[in-house]
Amino acid sequence: MEVFPSHRDRAAIVSVLFLTMTRAAAHADELQDLKDRVDALRRQVAALERATSSDAAGNAVTGGATKGSFKLPGSDTSITLGGYVKLDAIYSDRSAGVDSTGDQELEPGSIPVGPAAAANDRNQVTLHARQSRLFFKTSTPTDRGDLGTYLEFDLFGASGNESVSNSNNLRVRHAYGTLGGWLFGQTWTTFSDVDAYPETVDFGGTVGQIFVRQAQVRWTQAFADGEWSIALENPETVASVPGGAAFRADDDRLPDLTSKIRLNTAAGRYSIAGLVRQVRVDSAANPAARSQKLGAAIGANGIVPFGATDDLRFSAYLGNALGRYTAGYFTDGVLTADGRLQLPRQWIAAVSYRHFWAPTVRSTLALSKLASEHTSAVAGAVNKNAESAHLNVMWSPFTRTNFGLEYIYARRETQDGQSGKLNRLQASAQYVF
């Protein structure tokens, strides 16, 4: 019996081994080629994903630098949109106190006076959504600080009809830009401190407050415990003749100069404001009356905290240049019978207390008054004084919602001794976005 294979068998075995090794080597080459192709495909997919991601990022709306803002594709400007929708339902007694927008906000100067005042305007009811507003705010970084812009509108523009569409027009409230300490555009006069005004359901607020928005150039400088501001603002003279009729003397030559200092203390926040302005009468409607005088006024405001939630707020102003700054209640000057221009001394004051009954329920009691001291040469229907009281309850059951109910009493008296009063009940629903 043979133990070793024959020569022929050994040759066959060598051939099989050679073929097997050749095929294995070929197979290994195929696997390496397949692996190389897979790796190349993976690199192409990764590159495509990076390119797609980059394109998507370049065309995506992203979050802005401030809360609630966003950035448009290819922009470093943060944009914020906001505002609210508000419905007001108003009941007024016989002295309706209608304003230029149709009995939709309190204007003390429009309260009828006299024994038969508004005898045909009794128990009036109106509903409107004109206080609803919309604002746009932007912030863009620059090498000199953030460049900001602000635009705000409400629906107290030209009135629409109440019979079909109620299509009221937009009205510009604010339109200004800021960079560093500079402000250019239209906003609240620097002479006011709206933060110190009470929370009311009525859009007009108390009678005793400074209420003007106008174009201006303002510089604000911060310091350790507050800031100070100085501004040149749009001038406008509104004068009245002895009988009380008002007219605009549109020949102003100097801007109004305003200033304010704000102080933040452990006992509350306070401000002191000043105003210097030229009151000038040179109108084609009154060619015999050409006169001008320089007037001034000063004011103080404050917010005093009580406990963890309550606060007391106050405002007081005095001077002979308040005029139209009192929401148009007083004129800037009065022409006497002999054509002389007088700047009567005027004062306004308001105080309010806000109390939180619960985290979502609060009330405000606000009292205010304003008065003017005229000489005996001034008579007729020129406004002499007015006063108001507001008492409300506000309920905020959900985030960004407010429901309010408010009672308003207001009274007006003219220089000739005539007076009129207003009683009003107002309810509102507000949704903030």
Band (pLDDT 50/70/90 cuts) for residue 60 is: confident
Say if CB 148 and CB 179 are below 8 A apart. Answer: yes
Band (pLDDT 50/70/90 cuts) for residue 105 is: confident
List the beta bridge partners of residue 334.
240, 342
**Which backbone phi and psi does 153 adopt, to 5 degrees?**
-130, 150
List the single range of 16-30, 167-181, 193-207 with lowest mean pLDDT. 16-30
Q: Which residues make Cβ contacts (< 8 Å) with residue 364, sequence separation at least 6?
A: 198, 199, 200, 352, 353, 354, 355, 390, 391, 392, 394
Q: What is the mean pLDDT of residues 124-131?
A: 92
List pLDDT tens digits, range 244-291.
667 776 678 999 999 999 999 999 999 999 999 999 887 555 555 568
List the single range of 67-81, 236-250, 362-376 with lowest mean pLDDT. 236-250
Judged against a pLDDT cut of 50, whether residue 53 lies above it is answered with yes
List the single range of 65-74, 75-84, 199-208, 393-402 with lowest mean pLDDT. 65-74
Predicted pLDDT of residue 286? 57
Band (pLDDT 50/70/90 cuts) for residue 411 is: very high
Say if CB 261 and CB 299 are below 8 A apart. Answer: no
The DSSP result for 301-330, as a single string, is EEEEEETTTEEEEEEEEEES--GGGTTTSS
Predicted pLDDT of residue 133? 97
Alpha-carbon separation of residue 185 from 174, 182, 213, 306 (angstroms):
8, 10, 10, 36
Q: What is the mean pLDDT of residues 297-317?
A: 97
Q: What is the mean pLDDT of residues 320-346?
A: 88
Predicted pLDDT of residue 159? 77
Report the percent of the chain where pLDDT is more than 90: 56
Alpha-carbon separation of residue 57 from 45, 50, 78, 271, 417 (angstroms):
18, 10, 16, 47, 71
Q: What is the mean pLDDT of residues 371-388?
A: 82
> In this predicted model, which residue has the larger pLDDT, 86 or 116?
86
CA distance 153 to 135: 6
Predicted pLDDT of residue 100? 46
Judged against a pLDDT cut of 60, whether residue 20 lies above it is answered with no
Band (pLDDT 50/70/90 cuts) for residue 301 is: very high
- Beta strand segments in 210-285, E: 213-223, 226-233, 238-240, 246-248, 256-265, 268-283
Mean pLDDT of the chain: 86
Judged against a pLDDT cut of 70, whether residue 58 lies above it is answered with no
Sheet containing strand 238-240, strands side by side:
246-248, 238-240, 333-335, 341-342
Band (pLDDT 50/70/90 cuts) for residue 239 is: confident
Predicted pLDDT of residue 45? 67
